[in-house]
Amino acid sequence: MLWRSQMADVPFEGIYRRQVDLDAPDAQTVVGWLEDESHHFGITLVHDGAYVREVRMASPRYPWATCADAGRPLQAFVGQPLVARASQLGAVVDMRLQCTHLFDLASLMVAHAHAGRRHRRYHGTVEPLAAVVPGAPEGWQRATLYRDGAVVLHWDLHDDRIVGPAAHAGRALYHGFREWTETLAAEDAEQALVLRRVAFVSNGRRITIEHLGSAAELGQGAVCHSFQPGQRERAIPIPNSRRRYDINPQDMLARVRSQP
């Protein structure tokens, strides 16, 4: 997870990508995978049609050594009801104790199970706006969300604010964002939440952590699993954990057929 106060002044170049795959192989199981430049996680969620009964995690790639232990706090999802909105899980599961990315994935999986969907794949991208709109101001970005291969949402961004399209212009990605999405239909709200996370996590390109002794050196508050007291001192950066998928998105989630 990255916080704006820790961004280095590094130009954002190329296309950042984040992909989420949700699959229900049977009526009681959802298998979810997530991959981006710094993370690759999988979850198997077993339910009885009303409540979560089991959660298993796989962690092929992650930035901090403590991320591999994030399956323990993830057990807070067991016993929770299936709900229509992924955002509803934040009221019953403390996100600050969770790996941010596992929490996002598990919440989407709960909503997927509630809806009774078979399969869905989100693919989010962030790139300099000038790459798609000649003459666009420097530093502006285009964030795009594909659902099952079709574009369902895009925003033009400047800092933490949406500047286009007009229907969303002026909306901040942080303050008041969830209050806004709660006024939207469940499908629209989910898409907005997924794209917001894509935009947020894409800022990971602007910093490096490999030179740090531990996450404690960042001086960040206890906002996720690896930054909890007692955890952050053990959160050692994993060398060579990043992957760039600018021009080879087909390599993302290449092995999603197996269950974690």
Domain end, chosen from 184, 204, 224, is at 204
Residues 198, 228: one domain?
no
Residues 116, 214: one domain?
yes
| 131 backbone dihedrals φ, ψ, rounded to 5° | -70, -25
At 56-73, the pLDDT tens digits run 999 999 999 999 999 999
Domain carrying residue 137: 123-204
At 75-98, the pLDDT tens digits run 999 999 999 999 999 999 999 999
User: Is residue 35 situated within a structural domain?
Assistant: yes
- Element spanning 199, H or E: helix 186-202
Residue 104: the pLDDT is: 97
Which stretches in the chain have pLDDT values below 50? 1-7
User: Is residue 245 situated within a structural domain?
Assistant: no
Residue 100: the pLDDT is: 95
Residues 108, 233: one domain?
yes
Q: What predicted TM-score, i.e. pTM, was given to this entire model?
A: 0.93
CB 112 within 8 A of CB 119: no
Residues 114, 212: one domain?
yes
Question: Distance of CA 179 to CAs 1, 30, 133, 186, Å?
Answer: 22, 28, 30, 13
Residue 5: the pLDDT is: 41
Q: Residues 128, 133, 138, 144: what is their CA dihedral angle, to the nearest 10 degrees?
A: -30
User: Is residue 54 situated within a structural domain?
Assistant: yes
Query: Total domain count for the chain?
Result: 2
Residues 110, 157: one domain?
no
User: Is residue 254 situated within a structural domain?
Assistant: no
